[in-house]
Amino acid sequence: MPEFNCDFHIHSKYSGGTSKDMELPLIARQAELKGLHVVGTGDALHPGWISHLKEHLIEEDGLYKTKASETRFIIQTEVEDDRRVHHVIMLPSIGAAEDLSSKLAKYSVNINSDGRPNVRLNGEQIVGYVKDEGGLAGPSHAFTPWTSLYKEYNSISDCYGSNLRHVSFLELGLSADTDMADRIHELQDVTFMSNSDCHSPWPQRLGREFNRISVEELSFSEIVKAIRHESGRKFTLNAGLNPREGKYHITACTRCYTKFRMTDAVKLKMRCPECRGLIKKGVADRIEELASEDSPRHPSHRPPYMHILPLAEVIALAMKINNPNSKKVKDAWDKLVSEFKTEINILLDEPTGNIAKANKDIAAVIDKLRRDEIHYDAGGGGKYGTPSLEKSKENYYSCGQKTLKDW
């Protein structure tokens, strides 16, 4: 069966903190350059975005595309429930999104003003409404310390109750990967998704995490079968950031980003002694609390997970440039994508010998990336981790010292 690259969770210009450039024609074009075949629409409950979808999209087998692009869109949104847990929702049609929006409107004060609305329902109730529309729902960025399933609950069943049987997927989020999540036994039957949750359309964000699926053809029903690993349809790869690059991997202060071991953070009552900021428990420590296995136990349906970087960050590493948004990096990115078609092809599939003919230094970093030999100064407290070609020591605050100035 053919394979397709999919990013099932993004946002539109109607969500808070998003780029005004998040419009379908531009998203579709950037998805082509990235190498994505399917992208979530984001924010499909918002009336302004629904109008935008209707204006630009043509339906095809439960998916949609624009007139100018072959990129497929799956109708998708995200909601926040009454306990601040976020849920990804995928639907079979724009009509289903309109119906769901109408039904949820009486439980939300901002469904017409925010692309990611707050809904006064719990996870079990939300899944029930989505199921009635023929859609799927599951937890967004399931381990992050602010608005996630495992921030609020100790078990997925506590969140979804009697509708747990209708929850087929879980989104890992940028600060976790398969090896981490597969230490939690209750998730053995659940499909793991790696999505970008992006707020801008550029390839450094769009598809920074994606899924590769094997299906007969691109249609909503085939994607559902892959998520449920039915009839030979399946996920064949999760690709995403090394969790150490995620903003919440390590327990850290949300103000000055000082890192803490969990034992010290507890002693300090989750307050930073340097700036009095709030210390947020990192995903690594949260999974340690939840883990039922000392090491990951991967079920037979679980695909491999590949740690990747946006190509701009790879180029910046190779060129020893601190800013991946610099013109020099952009020029190199344009040249490579022009020659090798898509960013994902360059990162994952193109023989490095071919890339070396264009740029030996970049090819060498891509080789390290594929071998999982990139090093990271881990992120935490809301600050992204930083990749490096050199190994460095991780610095943690210790309750036995009075100051960090001696580091």
Q: What is the pLDDT of residues 103-141, one digit of tens each?
A: 999 999 999 999 999 999 999 999 999 999 999 999 999
pLDDT at site 400: 63
Q: Would you state the pLDDT for residue 403?
A: 43
Token readout for 61 is: 């087998």
pLDDT of residue 335: 98
pLDDT tens series, the chain, 407 aa: 999 999 999 999 999 999 999 999 999 999 999 999 999 999 999 999 999 999 999 999 999 999 999 999 999 999 999 999 999 999 999 999 999 999 999 999 999 999 999 999 999 999 999 999 999 999 999 999 999 999 999 999 999 999 999 999 999 999 999 999 999 999 999 999 999 999 999 999 999 999 999 999 999 999 999 999 999 999 999 999 999 999 999 999 999 999 999 999 999 999 999 999 999 999 999 999 999 999 999 999 999 999 999 999 999 999 999 999 999 999 999 999 999 999 999 999 999 999 999 999 999 999 999 999 999 999 999 999 999 999 888 889 887 654 433 33
Query: Where would I find the H helices in 70-190?
Result: 94-104, 123-132, 149-152, 156-160, 178-181
pLDDT, position 401: 56
What is the structure's pLDDT at 51? 98
Distance CA 281, CA 258 (A): 12
pTM here is: 0.95
CA distances from 202 to 147, 163, 333 (A): 25, 36, 12
pLDDT at 330: 97
State the CB neighbour count (10 A cutoff) for residue 296. Answer: 16
Q: What's residue 398's pLDDT?
A: 80
Cα distance between residue 367 and residue 381, in whole Å:
30
Angle (CA) 242-244-245 rounded to 5° is 75
pLDDT score recorded for residue 140: 98
Amino acid 405: pLDDT: 39
Contact 194, 209 (CB under 8 A): yes
What pLDDT does 76 receive?
98
Element (H, E) at 191: strand 191-193
Q: Which residue ranges make up each domain of the chain?
A: 3-244, 310-370
Determine phi and psi for 283, rounding to 5 degrees.
-60, -40
pLDDT for the residue 407: 31
CATH of region 3-244: 3.20.20.140
